[in-house]
Amino acid sequence: MNSLSGLDILIFICYFVLVAGYGYWVYQKKKKASVSASHDYFLAEGSLTWWAIGASLIASNISAEQFIGMSGNGYFVGIAVAAYEWIAALALIIIAVWFMPVYLKNKIYTMPQFLKTRYNETVSLIMAIFWLLLYVFVNLTSILYLGAIAISGLIGPQYLHLVMIGLAVFSLIITLGGMKVIGYTDVIQVAVLIIGGFATIYFALTIVSEKFGTGGSALAGFNTLIDQAPDHFKMILKKPTETSSQEDINKYLILPGIAMYLAGQWIVNLNYWGCNQYITQRALGADLQTARKGILFAGFIKLFMPVIVMLPGIAAYVLHQNGHLQELRGMDDAYSAILGFLPSGLKGLAIAALTAAIVASLAGKLNSIATIFTLDIYMKYFKKNTPDTPAEGNEKNMVWIGKVAALVAIFIAVIFEWKDLLGIGGKGGFTFIQEYTGFISPGVFAMFILGMFWKRTTGAAAVAGLITGLVIIIFFKLFAVNVFGHETILYTAFKNADGKYEIPFLISMGWSFFFTMLIMIGISLAGPKINPKAFILDKEMFKLKPSIVAMITATLLILAALYIKFW
């Protein structure tokens, strides 16, 4: 299980040389171009094509939390967790059609800049600090930890810290080349990710078929999964009753059936894809048509991601239940356990795919950290431009500061995950990220959606909304059951594994967003009818070309077919 053959090592080395070599070539070519140093480093100076934008979005999004965390949730819950991927495809359509025109017309390059332009400096600074803390202590740490756990599970647990350092260094090297290097190397990363991912699940399904004597083909293996675990192939989980098992209740607490589609699931996806520096940065340097095509291309790819990141977990569940994976310790080990079955050569490709996902995601996060810290904190509060400072000197200084910020961020992440100080292993990686991000998502999304499309929204309302969203979701999580009981018109709480009543977190997010919107609207109604900082919108901004309409239609048809099949 824990040994790699010479062929595995050779394939991994080829992957490393290919990515590093291509990245260096892009970097050298970039150096010869006469472009703004800072804009090139942080935004790729608008040079990314639509397919590079789309590939970079996927490479940055799909990482250890999907391969390990979502695969683990696939093991525990099943296909219902695919909602995070499939609703993301719908969210990306909304972002491409309505959000990107607002960003690009107003020359928005960072999310804190959006908040300053639309609201005020206070809102911008609060959120800049929050995003930096979130990226370092939730995203970087979880990706590093889960990735190191997965890879060391294949080559030997004694290499955990060595793998962690290797991932950190590799991602930092890619980051130092800037957004253009990240964007174009992400194309290779996505190719490796998809090829390796599909090869892994194809072989896993054939293993399932062989173990159950159904013919040894991938299709037979998939049908075997459906036969052996029919409850794992339901998109909508039923609301638990008094006779429901604790396991069914635990599943519902993570993915609360049809209710989550009316509540937190939309907030999670729209906030992540539309109000997140780490994601939107890929498209903010492009023109509208290129940005839209890239985002929709990413949405199309998202439709197929559950095959790569979720099915291995279900395969691991079926094999474990039938005694073929007795050493499996927990749901976050599901993906590594499946990789252990792979033959020589394919295991190396699978590790390369996993590494590609981790490194691309880490590099994207680090570049976003560098961008926010440099443009929204350092240049505003520590190194304000002065008339006697040469423009070239400022440009080089900004890039240098960005690189230092990235280095410090990855160093902090490694320190905190050296002994899993944040307890990511105990919560389950995917749940850890979604929950901690979710505490602030309702308030942030309310600020953005009202700020974009309602001219009356005020800065005071934005600050109040941010605080309200956080307070309400904490109230729902910690105090609501004690105050109002476990059954109300707003929610139904269920006993968790510890015997305590708990409200499904996605439901809490939905109500937090609803009440935050009410507070923000109420405060804004007391202000001027049109806020002086409101964005000017016109119908021309939102017109779609036939090629865009065709991409949207194809995505919607495939998505409808998937939900009809697995409802």
CA–CA gap between residue 528 and residue 458 (Å, rounded): 9
Q: What is the pLDDT of residue 178?
A: 66
Q: What is the pLDDT of residues 211-258, one digit of tens each?
A: 888 877 889 989 999 999 998 999 998 999 888 888 889 889 888 989
Q: Give the whole-number percent of the chain exceeding pLDDT 90.
A: 26
What's the pLDDT band for 423 if we cut at 50, 70, 90? low
Is residue 387 pLDDT above 60, yes or no?
Answer: no
What's the pLDDT band for 426 if we cut at 50, 70, 90? low
Q: What is the pLDDT of residue 28?
A: 72
Q: What is the pLDDT of residue 355?
A: 81
Q: What is the pLDDT of residue 41?
A: 54
Is residue 48 pLDDT above 80, yes or no?
Answer: no
Q: Which of 407, 363, 369, 365 is nearest to 185 (CA)?
A: 363
Average pLDDT, the chain: 83
What's the pLDDT band for 34 if we cut at 50, 70, 90? very low
Is residue 176 pLDDT above 90, yes or no?
Answer: no
Q: Which two tokens stand for residue 197?
A: 């991912």
Q: What is the pLDDT of residue 47?
A: 59
Q: Which two tokens stand for residue 89?
A: 């495809």
Q: What is the pLDDT of residue 456?
A: 94
Is residue 290 pLDDT above 50, yes or no?
Answer: yes
* Backbone dihedral angles phi then psi of residue 533, each to the nearest 5 degrees: -95, 5
Q: What is the pLDDT of residues 151-168, one digit of tens each?
A: 887 777 788 889 889 888
566 forms bridges with which residues in the sheet?
none
Q: Which domains does the chain have, with CATH numbers?
A: 6-422 (1.20.1730.10)
492 forms bridges with which residues in the sheet?
487
What's the pLDDT band for 340 if we cut at 50, 70, 90? confident
Alpha helix locations (H) across 69-178? 71-76, 83-94, 100-105, 111-118, 121-134, 141-155, 160-176
Is residue 33 pLDDT above 60, yes or no?
Answer: no
Vertex 200 angle, CA 198 and 204, to 5°: 115
Q: What is the pLDDT of residue 431?
A: 62
* Backbone dihedral angles phi then psi of residue 502, each to the nearest 5 degrees: -140, 135
Is residue 504 pLDDT above 50, yes or no?
Answer: yes
Predicted TM-score (pTM) of the model is 0.83
Q: What is the pLDDT of residue 40?
A: 54
Q: What is the pLDDT of residues 259-281, one digit of tens each?
A: 888 888 899 899 989 888 777 77
Q: What is the pLDDT of residue 425?
A: 58
Is residue 44 pLDDT above 50, yes or no?
Answer: no
Strands 501-502 and 494-495: antiparallel
- In SS3 terms, 13-77 reads as HHHHHHHHHHHHHHHHHHHHCCCCHHHHHHHHHHCCCHHHHHHHHHHHHCCHHHHHHHHHHHHHC
Which residues have CB under 8 Å from 186's CB, separation 6+? Answer: 52, 55, 56, 58, 59, 60, 360, 364
Is residue 96 pLDDT above 60, yes or no?
Answer: yes
